[in-house]
Structure 1
Amino acid sequence: MKNDDKLKSKDLPLLLLKSSQGHARRAIAIYQKRGSSENEIALHCGMAVEHLAKYILALINTALLQENKADEDSLLFLCGAPLEHSKKVSEIRTIGAEDACKRVQKIYPGIGYSPTVGATLFGARNSAAHLGVADLEDAYAALYAAMLMIKNFLPKTRIGWEGYWGEESAAASTLLNEEEDNLRARYVAKITAAEQRFAAQYSGISEDARSTVLKIVLEHPRANYDHKEKRACPACNSFAWLGFDLKTDFEADFERDGTPIGVVEVTTATPKSFDCPACGLLLSDIELEFADMDGEVYIEEKDIRDTVQFEGGDLDF
């Protein structure tokens, strides 16, 4: 779109919705062909969910599409100012995919968004976009993640499941159920195999000897993580390691009347994988949701200072 087409921020909700629907339906079509490009599945699924999340935000106010550190021109456009002739549409900066989903969740806490499921989807999308490679298993996991997120997000839109999918509505419902069944079957198979390994390895020794060995085995995780916590293993009940990725964001802090008073640095941890050295169980991505280990954890929240350094100068609150 050219500048002289006079794109306005009020046009964004419909554009984002149509784009989301197009990508979602294209992903379904590619999947139904079987053996088609897993890269395309991952790409279309990621774009469908990102644009749906941004559509929900834009329905409330297009200013919610701004990045945490939005540049002035992008912020003005998203708040309704005309797009300047010197500014291209491609230069407008908006919030990233995962942050858009988290912002939707912050507005609608009961929407059912899982950061771990989001990481599964956007990880596969980014791999396909930046490396040109997405594993078939990752692409199908991303497809299920996208379908689940679309299902959870649609109640907060002005359209329903059938309105979103159109003629692909029945196929989308079938696909969602099929992929969930397939993923859960693989998860159950992993749990069963881990239970059998644990029984075979520890059934022949005394309870005291088992406790001593497990204490040593479980003392440290087998991989390095930004953050780690102990959780009960769904296969052997040992307290093993759930590893997290850390992310730090900066958010404005306000008085009750809306007066800005400073900036808060918030560090959150998103579950990445569960590793049990006792039985060999290793879970990641969607499997963490099945094991009820997909919840994001707030690690730290602290005030930093009353003046924040931005490009072009300081912003005093």
Structure 2
Amino acid sequence: MPVDQRALVPLANARNGVAHAGIHHIAEVQTVFTTCLRLVDPLLTELKIDQKQYWGGYEQLHDRLIEKRVQCARIELEAKLAKARADFEQRYGHLDEASRQTVLATITRYEPMRYMEHDEEQECPACASRAWLMGETYIDDDKNTVVFSPFMLMCSACDLHLTAEDLPLIGNLANEIDLEERPENFYFSAEQVGTIVAQDWEPGT
């Protein structure tokens, strides 16, 4: 499970929660801790520091913690999918096919309330209805095109909500998508193109 900006979301939330509100959810401690471990490894490689020597007697613990977190993430994902499928069947299982399609077309017609920069339609992995990948975009300088980086998936039909940690565990949901749009066409104005940079985790900066 590679570390990128999406994988750092729990770490950023933990940092901001503690720094600005003095709170942090105890259930997220393991995720945050193993993310930190995974973050250190590529830094060691970049700095040409031997990982065995760095971790020393903690190497096996390091490996086990990461392995355990991956296993837990898969179990949590399966639980989410199972619940979403059960909820979907409970809500729409009594409807005939034509009625079900009409209801679902209405429920999934609109994207969920957006609190991320961009979204793309995606078939829900639980109920096969229209769902939405939500995330952020950036400019690929080599291709001069806009690329979408998904952070989560939401389905209004079965209420499935997948996080950045879940997406890599299901097919290609975590894959970035080339929107095949030139930046000056995609963003509101050409003046904004030069100001699109990675977001700072610190609010108000």
Q: Tell whether the 8 Å contact from 1:115 to 1:296 is kept in structure 2 after alignment.
A: no
Q: Tell whether the 8 Å contact from 1:229 to 1:242 is kept in structure 2 after alignment.
A: yes
Answering whether residue 24 of structure 2 is matched by residue 150 of structure 1, we say no
Q: Secondary structure at the match of 1:285?
A: coil
The percent identity for this pair of structures is: 24
Which residue of the partner structure matches residue 155 of structure 2?
276
Runs (5+) with no aligned partner, structure 2: 185-189, 196-205
Which residue of the partner structure matches residue 243 of structure 1?
134
Count of residue pairs the alignment pairs up: 183
Q: Tell whether the 8 Å contact from 1:271 to 1:296 is kept in structure 2 after alignment.
A: yes
Quick one: structure 1 residues 268 and 129, their matched pair in 2 at CA, closer, same or farther if it must change by over 3 Å?
farther
Q: How far apart are residue 235 of structure 1 and its match?
A: 0.9
TM-score (normalised: structure 1): 0.49
Which residue of the partner structure matches residue 165 of structure 1?
55
Answering whether residue 95 of structure 2 is matched by residue 205 of structure 1, we say yes
Which residue of the partner structure matches residue 194 of structure 1?
84
Quick one: structure 1 residues 128 and 153, their matched pair in 2 at CA, closer, same or farther if it must change by over 3 Å?
same
* Aligned pairs (5 A) from 1:213-224: 213-224=103-114
Higher helix share: 1
Aligned letter for 2:154? D
**Bigger Cα Rg:** 1
Answering whether residue 172 of structure 2 is matched by residue 290 of structure 1, we say no
Q: How far apart are residue 113 of structure 1 and its match?
A: 3.8
Q: Secondary structure at the match of 2:127?
A: coil
Q: Distance in 2 between matches of 1:126 and 1:269?
A: 25
Aligned letter for 2:36? A
Which residue of the partner structure matches residue 118 of structure 1?
8
* Aligned pairs (5 A) from 1:174-189: 174-189=64-79
Q: Distance in 2 between matches of 1:301 and 1:191?
A: 36
Quick one: structure 1 residues 146 and 294, their matched pair in 2 at CA, closer, same or farther if it must change by over 3 Å?
farther
Aligned letter for 2:157? A
Runs (5+) with no aligned partner, structure 1: 1-110, 255-263, 309-317
Quick one: structure 1 residues 173 and 141, their matched pair in 2 at CA, closer, same or farther if it must change by over 3 Å?
same
Aligned letter for 1:164? Y
Of 17, 22, 27 in structure 2, the residue corresponding to residue 132 of structure 1 is: 22
Q: Distance in 2 between matches of 1:237 and 1:153?
A: 39
